[in-house]
């Protein structure tokens, strides 16, 4: 029987969440990670090149894979 807590991680990719996610990964062997959800924040935006909207404080989404690797 698995006694680890089933966990879903949500993050908006802000620097503070990136730090929290990294800390979670250090202890992730203690949890049964069911999923990781990257959401958007009102404080950063990927932009829309088709509409001429520049990115604003966008950290991208690849950092999650980089951290996991």
In this structure, are residues 31 and 4 in contact, taking their beta carbons and an 8 Å threshold? yes
pLDDT, tens digit (0-9, with 9 covering 90-100), for 54-66:
887 778 888 999 9
Q: Tens of pLDDT along the chain (69 residues)?
A: 679 999 999 988 788 888 999 999 999 999 999 999 988 766 677 788 888 888 877 788 889 999 999
What is the structure's pLDDT at 34? 96
pTM, two decimals, is 0.73
Indicate the domain borders of the chain.
Answer: 5-68
Element (H, E) at 42: none
3 Ramachandran zone, left/alpha/beta (phi>0; psi -120 to 50): alpha
Question: At 28, is the secondary structure helix, strand, or coil?
Answer: helix
Locate 40 and state its tokens. 């958007």
In this structure, are residues 30 and 4 in contact, taking their beta carbons and an 8 Å threshold? yes
Q: Which 8-state DSSP code applies to residue 29?
A: G
């Amino acid at each position: 029987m698995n006694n680890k807590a089933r966990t879903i991680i949500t993050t908006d990719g802000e620097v503070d969440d990136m730090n929290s996610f990294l800390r979670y990964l250090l202890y992730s062997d203690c949890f049964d990670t069911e999923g990781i959800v990257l959401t958007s924040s009102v404080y950063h935006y990927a932009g829309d090149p088709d509409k001429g909207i520049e990115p604003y404080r966008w950290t991208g989404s690849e950092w999650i894979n980089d951290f996991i690797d």
